Amino acid sequence: MRTGILFLLTIMFLTPLSANNINKSTSKIGVTYRYDDAVTFVERNVQFHVFLNGEFDFNTHYRDTKYVDYYGRRTKTNRGVRIDRDFKGRIRRIGNVFVNYDYRGNVTRIGSVFIRYRRGQLTKVGNLRVRYDRWGNPFYKGDVKSQRYYNEYESCDDRFSIDINIGDVFDYDNAYFYRRDFRNNYRQFKEDNNFFYYRAKPNARIGKRSKVLKRRKSKRNSDNYYFKKPTTKQKIKSRRNK
């Protein structure tokens, strides 16, 4: 009997301590800060979140905090807001806001807000500039429109969690990409310096596979430019020109 009482008292003392530790660790690693690594602004009553890797989310009823994922198919929650897509499945219009992309699938314009990149990283949204330190941590300075960002990132601040891991990652020469099953169920919608991105088609039969696949680029494809080695004749001509 005495042993049982001591056991219950031990559990009562340890339980609040464990809960506090869990809350602290969750806050530190940024689990509850999904949109902290995004630049947020409102364009024609639609709230947009532009992420560091060129993706974006939008919310037509942001006062109700019901988000509509750019990669999802939850467009029914928009309650009458018009959403148009192109033949690649990318969103080109949300209400009266038109969306443009570059050849890699990164969003470059949302309404009146222009977006720029450098080496696959977000560098400017409207009048807001984004810079990075050598560890890839972002610095925000300026304002997109009327919302200002005064964040001067410090390495000790763990709230920023730069997460660009979307979907399952495969090697470039994975056999699945050469199968008919892949061609029938997926199509490419985005490209960056390191990966090709594929999204499942509507009504695709993919089983347990992810709706988004990342195909790691080969070394040749990952280079920004591919230079053909000069021939002996070309070398002689270049020397003569000097």
The pLDDT score that the predictor gives to residue 110 is 93
Is residue 141 in a domain?
Answer: yes
List of residues 6+ apart from 103 with CB closer than 8 A:
191
List of residues 6+ apart from 230 with CB closer than 8 A:
238
Residue where a domain stops, chosen among 149, 176, 195: 149
φ, ψ dihedrals at 178, nearest 5°: -105, 5
Is residue 20 in a domain?
Answer: no
DSSP state of 136: -
Q: Is residue 121 domain-shared with residue 55, that is, in the same domain?
A: yes
Is residue 200 in a domain?
Answer: yes
Asked whether 145 and 113 are in contact (CB, 8 A), the reply is yes
Q: Is residue 101 domain-shared with residue 172, that is, in the same domain?
A: no
Range of the domain at 42: 38-149
Q: Is residue 137 domain-shared with residue 182, that is, in the same domain?
A: no
Q: Is residue 135 domain-shared with residue 46, that is, in the same domain?
A: yes
Q: Is residue 45 domain-shared with residue 93, that is, in the same domain?
A: yes
Is residue 180 in a domain?
Answer: yes
Residue 75 pLDDT greater than 50, yes or no: no
Domain count, the chain: 2
Local confidence band at 233 (pLDDT 50, 70, 90 cut-offs): low
Provide the whole-model pTM.
Answer: 0.45
Local confidence band at 42 (pLDDT 50, 70, 90 cut-offs): confident
Is residue 134 in a domain?
Answer: yes
Is residue 31 in a domain?
Answer: no
Task: Name the burial class of residue 216, with classes exposed (0-12), middle (13-18) and buried (19+) by CB atoms within 10 angstroms of its CB.
Answer: middle
The alpha carbon dihedral of 117, 123, 126, 127 has a sign of: negative
Q: Is residue 131 domain-shared with residue 172, that is, in the same domain?
A: no
pLDDT: which is higher, 239 or 89 = 89
Residue 146 pLDDT greater than 70, yes or no: no
Residues 113, 172: Cα–Cα separation, whole Å: 35
Is residue 228 in a domain?
Answer: no
Q: Average pLDDT in the 149-171 region?
A: 46
pLDDT: which is higher, 123 or 32 = 123
Q: Is residue 121 domain-shared with residue 188, that is, in the same domain?
A: no
Is residue 123 in a domain?
Answer: yes
Q: Average pLDDT in the 136-165 region?
A: 51
Residue 126 pLDDT greater than 70, yes or no: yes
Q: Is residue 145 domain-shared with residue 172, that is, in the same domain?
A: no
Q: Average pLDDT in the 123-147 region?
A: 80
Q: Is residue 54 domain-shared with residue 130, that is, in the same domain?
A: yes
Asked whether 160 and 138 are in contact (CB, 8 A), the reply is yes
Residues 44, 22: Cα–Cα separation, whole Å: 40
Q: Is residue 60 domain-shared with residue 143, that is, in the same domain?
A: yes
Local confidence band at 47 (pLDDT 50, 70, 90 cut-offs): confident
The pLDDT score that the predictor gives to residue 128 is 86
Q: Average pLDDT in the 229-238 region?
A: 51
pLDDT > 90 fraction of the chain, expressed in percent and rounded = 14
Q: Average pLDDT in the 195-210 region?
A: 85
DSSP string, 91-104: EEEETTEEEEE-TT
Q: Is residue 122 domain-shared with residue 179, that is, in the same domain?
A: no
Q: Is residue 124 domain-shared with residue 50, that is, in the same domain?
A: yes
Report which secondary-structure segment, H or E, holds 170: strand 168-170
